[in-house]
A and B are shown apart, each in its own frame.
Chain A
Amino acid sequence: DADVTQTPRNRITKTGKRIMLECSQTKGHDRMYWYRQDPGLGLRLIYYSFDVKDINKGEISDGYSVSRQAQAKFSLSLESAIPNQTALYFCAASGSTDTQYFGPGTRLTVL
């Protein structure tokens, strides 16, 4: 869905580096989410946010942090990247219903 965009689309980095993944949405949705996808495991929730002042941990938040800079922007940071954080990362947004709309994903490789 072009209403949710993610940058970068691909990133290769080294162990110990700090990485930030950006997400923006144009629908004015209050809720935003970060997931990671690993082969054979489906998507798992990292963090989610109801609004700028409300951040919640998901299933696998260790090693990650987030920032909701504005209603439309939600960034995910890896303070010190490690190889097992190599994955496909998805951002999503939703409004008043539980339907989430996903971005195109960011493929992150940590060497």
Chain B
Amino acid sequence: AQSVTQLDSHVSVSEGTPVLLRCNYSSSYSPSLFWYVQHPNKGLQLLLKYTSAATLVKGINGFEAEFKKSETSFHLTKPSAHMSDAAEYFCVVSDPYNTDKLIFGTGTRLQVFP
């Protein structure tokens, strides 16, 4: 069965410092992997998506994620945090037997301090 583990429930960084949000997945086949962001009182917005075309995926707002099959990881990074990055981030994998079923991690809340 597919699963996603977000290793940190909360991450705090100072503005201008790097961001690292960690995600490990379990999947029998090459999965599609996503990162979504949820700002307070807003819906989920797609940050980026991995579909095996390239292991380093660039997303919106300066975020990127690297697919590492050997480590079964898909960590989200950003070189320099901005106050507007404060939000909840979800790592998501699609079920290869039914791509309509997305399996969500439990989320990582990112705080950015001035």
Q: Please give the number of chain B residues whose Cβ is less than 8 angstroms from any Cβ of chain A in the complex.
A: 21
Contact residues of A between 87 and 107, Cβ < 8 Å to B: 90, 92, 94, 98-105
**8 Å CB contact of A42 from B32, B99, B105:** B105
Q: Please give the number of chain A residues whose Cβ is less than 8 angstroms from any Cβ of chain B in the complex.
A: 25
| Structural contact, B49 and A99, CB atoms closer than 8 A | yes
| Structural contact, A98 and B99, CB atoms closer than 8 A | yes
**8 Å CB contact of B43 from A31, A33, A45, A104:** A104
| Structural contact, A99 and B34, CB atoms closer than 8 A | yes
Chain A's closest residue to B102 (CB) is A100
The winner among A41, A90, A92, A99 for most chain B CB atoms within 10 A is A99
| Structural contact, A31 and B45, CB atoms closer than 8 A | no
Q: Report how far A100 CA is from B36 CA in the complex, Å.
A: 10
A90 to chain B, nearest CB (A): 6
Given A45-B102, A48-B100; A98-B94 close (CB under 8 Å): yes
Counting from the closest, the 10 A-B pairs by CB-CB distance are A42-B104, A98-B99, A102-B44, A104-B43, A102-B43, A43-B104, A98-B94, A42-B106, A103-B43, A105-B43
Binding site for A on B (CB under 8 A): 9, 32, 34, 36, 41-46, 49, 90, 94, 99-102, 104-107
